[in-house]
Structure 1
Amino acid sequence: MSQLSNVEPFKRVSVLGAGAWGTALALNAVRAGRDVVLWGRNHENLQSISGTRQLPAYLPDITFDQPLETTTDVTEAADADCILLVAPAQSTRKIAEDIGFYVKKGTPVILAAKGLEKGTQRMMSEVLSDYLPQAVPAILSGPSFAADVARGLPTAVTIAAGSHPLAERLCATLSNTSFRPYASTDMIGVQLGGALKNVLAIACGIVVGKKLGASAHAALMTRGFAEMQRLALKAGARADTLMGLSGFGDVALSCSNAQSRNFSFGFALGDGKDLSELLAPGAKLSEGAFTARVATELADRFDVEMPIAQAVADVLDRKSSIDEAVTRLMSRPLRRESDHH
């Protein structure tokens, strides 16, 4: 087993995106002993972070245990040994375009969004390559809530890169006594695990919000995880990755906990809240709401059946009511559990 104690970490780390997850990861990097700068566009939020060590808009009731240096200057943020790009999946392209000119060749850029790009069906590493071909992509994913990381509660994640030495160096850069990253080279598996579990979390939230029972919830999680595996394996992921933190681990967290934005989104739908209200500007972001239809498009491309993702996409596209979607799922032809269809 590879030990990372002798791996030299990167010293200067910049975090692009001063929302809940970006701020939490910046705090974590400071705890790991790195020189950190946090970049964002909202002056008020940045002043709150650097002045009062709080971010009430995204991390209420938390006072940070470490000071954070903040900036709105993209050139300053790009001048780092290692960059964490922490933006929603559908915004990743724009930020990559904004910083593309300033990032030095060979700089590792860790992508922390769990989603697939609408319209292109591309993973975040593929999006990054359009505007930052000189950068070296990496992925951070796994069972982690921003509030837990911001508070310094124990958390374990996966960091994937194109080579083991880089993945291990990035793990050493962000590791501390409360944050334990595991290295991987399966960038496809880590990205698809994080993106697809958001769709499943919406489905699980719907079941709980509609009070369909604990048995239905358990069955949905299990069958949903099976269809996640089918697609990811066809796309080139490794089976052990999907059974790890960025696959099963993230499903276990996000599909059963109200702290999950995707689960909460689904719960509100199941409880009768109007979809338009949940998707309105200013509403809490649910990455799975964007990823659901993309997942079905990928399933068509790889000739994989994903009935649960299809049901979620149809509900979100208003092609089906929740009751109709549940009936359709329960009426599917009977088959062996191990069938890969």
Structure 2
Amino acid sequence: MTTKIAVLGAGSWGSVLANLLTENGQTVALWSHKASQVEEMNQHHTNQAYMPGFEYQHNLVVTDDMAEAIKDASVVLFVVPTKAIREVSAQAAKLLIANHQKVTIVHAIKGLEQETYKRVSEMLTEEIPSANRDAVVVLSGPSHAEDVAKKDITLITAASLNEDAARKVQKLFMNSYFRVYTNTDVIGAEFGAALKNIIAIGAGALHGLGYGDNAKAALMTRGLAEISRLGQSFGANPLTFIGLSGVGDLIVTATSSNSRNWRAGNELGQGKSLQEVIDTMGMVIEGVATTKAAHELAIKRHVDMPITDAIYDVLYNGAEVRSVITGLMQREGRAEIG
């Protein structure tokens, strides 16, 4: 029995997930707000702006009509930039209400809202009435779209307070190269997914400056400690941060040129300004906005996040990368644990 799934967002990750679901035998409607992109994907089965050279399943339906995508769907998957989630989910909510439709909400978005510091699942539950959703499930873990497109072995987590919904999503996505585990720690999954982008910018900067493996390992290890501290202050399970949504996602994002956050950091390390990096990237660099949100949130909650603070100084105060590294290294000595 097939399930109709509406995938909202046709960037690299959204389009590849839609392709995977289609390959798994599900009925998928992929929504994009760009008519030219819709035409290209339906006629040529390509998405050159986001996934150059990749050919999508020919029976994947792409549309710029959200009503068409959502109609009769039992699952709605959001894969849009964090800054767009309010607008897109509000639009989807109007359609669900008009259709008297109740769906499982899934998202694969990695960020925090500016000023409110809310996680994506919190925004979704605020915008979509409870009468129109049976659960919210978070997809996170080490998963570059480029590798999934090549059918590289990939393991991720489906996190939800509703274990039945998590298992439902698990079954929809799993196949011979894509394995899904379930988890009930939504807070940990979302904080791990969002905050690792900050550390990836730092790792890229180290590479751009010519630092070696020791420095990168130190950054990732201490960065994970920061991620865990902030997540636990909200009630996250510390074990989540040594799982796929934590250290797994951090490793893949902070070590690969497929990561736009790593690439942004690499260019910063090579001396480019943030604006130059943004202008040439062509896609949203989630870690830039997340750094600001995490820095401000850590101050409010009195959580020590020196690496995040240092990256914030580079991104928002124009600090020189080498100088913030020196500052981190000259901090007063302390115990590693505790």
Normalising by the smaller structure, the TM-score range is over 0.9
For residues 58-105 of structure 1, give each alpha carbon's deviation from its aligned partner in whole angstroms, at most 9, with x where no partner exists.
101112245311111111222210010010111111101111111255
Instruction: Please tell me the residue identity of whatever aligns with 1:68.
Output: L
- Asked if structure 2 preserves the Cα contact closer than 8 Å seen for 1:125 and 1:137, the reply is yes
- The CA distance in 2 between the partners of 1:242 and 1:275, in whole Å, is 29
Residue of structure 2 equivalent to 1:243:
242
> How many equivalent residue pairs?
331
Corresponding residue for 2:189?
A: 190
Aligned position for 2:44? 52
Q: Percent identity?
A: 36
1:93 matched to 2:90: no
Q: CA deviation at 1:302?
A: 2.4
For 1:115-154, what aligned pairs fall within 5 Å after superposition? 115-134=111-130, 135=133, 136-154=135-153
How many angstroms apart in 1 are the aligned matches of 2:228 and 2:254? 16
Rounded to whole Å, the distance in 2 between the matches of 1:241 and 1:105 is 33
Aligned AA (1:48): E
Match of 1:70 among 56, 62, 66: 62
- In the alignment, the residues of structure 1 paired with residue 218 and residue 226 of structure 2 have an alpha-carbon distance, to the nearest angstrom, of 12
Structure 1 contact 28–152 (Cα < 8 Å) conserved: no
Q: Which has the larger displacement, 280-289 or 175-184?
A: 280-289
Q: Which position in structure 2 is the counterpart of 1:36?
A: 28
- Equivalent position of 1:83 in the other structure: 76
Are the equivalent residues in 1 in contact too, given 2:260–2:281 (CA < 8 A)? Answer: no
Q: Is the 8 A contact 2:200 2:253 kept in 1?
A: yes
TM-score by length of 1: 0.93
Letter in 1 for 2:90: E
Q: What is the correspondence of 1:1-341 to structure 2 with a 5 Å cutoff? A: 11-79=3-71, 80-103=73-96, 104-134=100-130, 135=133, 136-280=135-279, 283-339=282-338
Deviation for aligned residue 1:151 = 2.8
Any unmatched runs of 5+ in structure 2? none
**Structure 1 gap ranges (5+):** 1-8
Task: Kindly provide the amino acid, as one letter, of the partner of residue 217 in structure 2.
Answer: A
Moved more, 111-120 or 126-135: 126-135
Does the CA-based 8 Å contact 2:8-2:30 persist in structure 1? yes
SS state at 2:156 partner: strand
SS in 1 for 2:28: strand
Superposition deviation, residue 106 in structure 1: 3.6
Question: What TM-score results when the alignment is normalised by the length of structure 2?
Answer: 0.94
Question: 1:31–1:66: 8 Å Cα contact kept in structure 2?
Answer: no
How far residue 238 of structure 1 moved from its aligned partner, in angstroms, is 0.8
User: RMSD in angstroms over aligned alpha carbons?
Assistant: 1.5
Aligned-partner residue type, residue 106 of structure 2? I
Per-residue CA shift, 1:128-180, capped at 9, x if unaligned?
Answer: 12211232321111100112222332211111112111101111112122211
What CA distance in whole angstroms lies between the structure 2 residues aligned with 1:66 and 1:155? 23
Secondary structure, aligned partner of 2:181: strand
**CA contact under 8 A between 1:116 and 1:195: conserved in structure 2?**
yes
Quote how far apart the aligned CAs of 1:219 are.
0.8
Mapped to 2, the partners of 1:319 and 1:265 lie a distance apart of: 15
Q: Which has the higher helix share?
A: 2
- Which position in structure 2 is the counterpart of 1:6? none
